[in-house]
Structure 1
Amino acid sequence: MIHTAKRQKERLFIAAAAVPALVLGTAREAHAMHIMEGYLPGGFCIAWGVLCLPFFLAGYFSLKRTLEENRKTLILLAMSGAFIFVISSLKIPSVFGSCSHMTGTGLGAILFGPASVSLLGVIVLLFQALLLAHGGLTTLGANTFSMAVAGPFLAWGVYALCRKLGVKRRVSVFLGAALGDLCTYCVTSLQLSLAYPSEQGGVAASTLKFLAVFAPAQLPLAVIEGILTVVILIALESYAQPELAMIGYYKKEKAGRSV
């Protein structure tokens, strides 16, 4: 009963935070990767930040529940956050006020779920903005939504779907991590185009232009990220099987399924 009441309370907080997010997400005024400091108008900065709030709360409750149940998984959690920080700090300069880099969020999404990565991601982006001048404080909400919300949710969805369809685990991990990386830059392109639509063609034309700028560097980076994520999970499967079992990495696997 106590556990059920706690879950209901968590859902209430998340739902309450989602209300302003939905309002901003559907309002016409909000038509408005690491987008640089000061590049987005103030209204867009606030809107993207508010849109992230329900995901922050969901991530907080998810991580809290995981750590309460299994304190030993803290090492895996710290490793996932460190992986995101390091790999997303290796940037390749691009034009139009942004840059190309891997995200590293697919690993955490597969291990702990996408909501948890939303909280890890904003912490990483905050430290990068303060310590590395990578991204910015005013654009923190937009960068968080693209890298720590949209990307992880797609990565987790692709991985879960592939496993359900019987795809080998390592192939599923690769596809999830690679497509999650690409999703981040598709969302970033949309964010930039919403703020700066093309005079001819509007948001759609502007989005295609930004995607064309990012694609040459991001496509190979996504493949590299997928491979790196697979390599790390192979190592974890060899040396951290008990911890992986604690977070449910194996619980849905059928006996005899090929990995």
Structure 2
Amino acid sequence: MHIMEGFLPTPWWQIWFAVSIPVILFGIHKLNRLVNEKREILPLLAVAGAFIFVLSSLKLPSINGSCSHPTGTGIAAIMFGPAISAVLGIIVLIYQALFLAHGGLMPLGANVFSMGIAGPVVAYLIYRAGMKANLNFYAVVFLATAFGDWATYVTTSVQLALAYPAGDVLTLAGFMSSFGKFAAIFAVTQVPLAIMEGAVSALLFKYVVNVKSDILVEMKVIEDKVVKKLKGISA
């Protein structure tokens, strides 16, 4: 997912910056307001940020110019929403680009959009739909984070196919041909990695529910009756 420095040509790296910047600015606004209103969420923010950093640093070589790895952003999307997830994502991606040679600054907009925006939006929507349908909480977390991970790599495949369509001319046929190749290569590593991420995310949420369920309820991440059910407490 981390597209490397210099790999995206003009105008694509600029386009993805233009698309991502408004979301980041909105996320910063939401994050500042949330922190000012609820200082007690800071430990959860730290956990979510650390989770993104650790998982997204476990890279495996994939398509030339990119790599494959878990993302970790689904957890943040569930807790804080996609906009704040984008802020945590860009912080992690800047650090990785500067100090780990993981990604780059020119493709930062594209990497933020795939890992910090597209994936979290999918994870958030699946989580909300699953909870509204009264499905098992941990199963919903698993599905949301796994599909959020896959959405990240579908988005990266789209980004690469737009920049490098078959035949070097951007047509629908050229785009679809390149997209199919990029997505197929990513799928080899990303299908099992996303399943692993879903399982780890569910386990992390089990811990958070046990120690910080009151904050989750206050932020309307989970209903109190669901917490009681998970803890085996009679209503």
Deviation at 1:160, TM superposition (A): 0.5
Task: Please state how far the C-alpha of 1:245 moved relative to its aligned partner.
Answer: 2.6
Which residue, out of 36, 41, 52, partners 2:9? Answer: 41
Per the TM alignment, residue 254 of structure 1 is displaced from its structure 2 partner at its CA by 6.2
**Aligned partners of 2:52 and 2:92 also within 8 Å:** yes
Pair 1:141–1:255, CA change in 2 (3 A): closer
User: TM-score scaled to structure 1, two decimals?
Assistant: 0.84
Mapping for residues 241-256 of structure 1, pairs under 5 Å: 241-251=213-223
Map 1:84-123 → 2, pairs under 5 A: 84-123=52-91
Q: Which residue of 1 aligns with 2:93?
A: 125
Residue ranges of structure 2 left out of the alignment (5+ in a row): none
Stretches of structure 1 that go unaligned for 5 or more consecutive residues are: 1-32
Moved over 4 A (4+): 252-259
The equivalences for 1:210-221 within 5 A come to 210-221=182-193
1:170 aligns with 2:142: no
Counterpart residue type for residue 110 of structure 1: I
State the SS of the aligned residue for 1:240: helix
CA deviation vs aligned residue, 1:143-189 (integer Å, no higher than 9, x gap):
00000000000000001011111211111100000000000000000
Q: Is contact 1:163–1:169 with CA below 8 Å preserved after alignment? A: yes
Among 205, 212, 216, which residue is 1:240 paired with? Answer: 212
Using the TM superposition, name which of 51-60 and 144-153 deviates more. 51-60
Paired letter, 1:152: P
- Identity level (%): 46
Task: Give the TM-score of the pair, scaled to structure 2.
Answer: 0.92
1:45–1:214 Cα change, 3 Å:
same
The aligned residue for residue 34 of structure 2 is 66
- Residues of 2 paired with 1:47 and 1:220: CA distance? 31
* Conservation of the 8 A alpha-carbon contact between 1:105 and 1:121: yes
Structure 2 Cα separation of the partners of residues 246 and 99 of structure 1:
38
C-alpha offsets along residues 111-170 of structure 1, whole Å, 9 cap, x if unaligned?
Answer: 111111011111110000001000000000000000000000000000101111121111
| CA distance in structure 1 between the aligned counterparts of 2:228 and 2:207, rounded to whole angstroms | 20
User: Which residue pairs with 1:55 in the alignment?
Assistant: 23
Alignment length (residue pairs) = 227
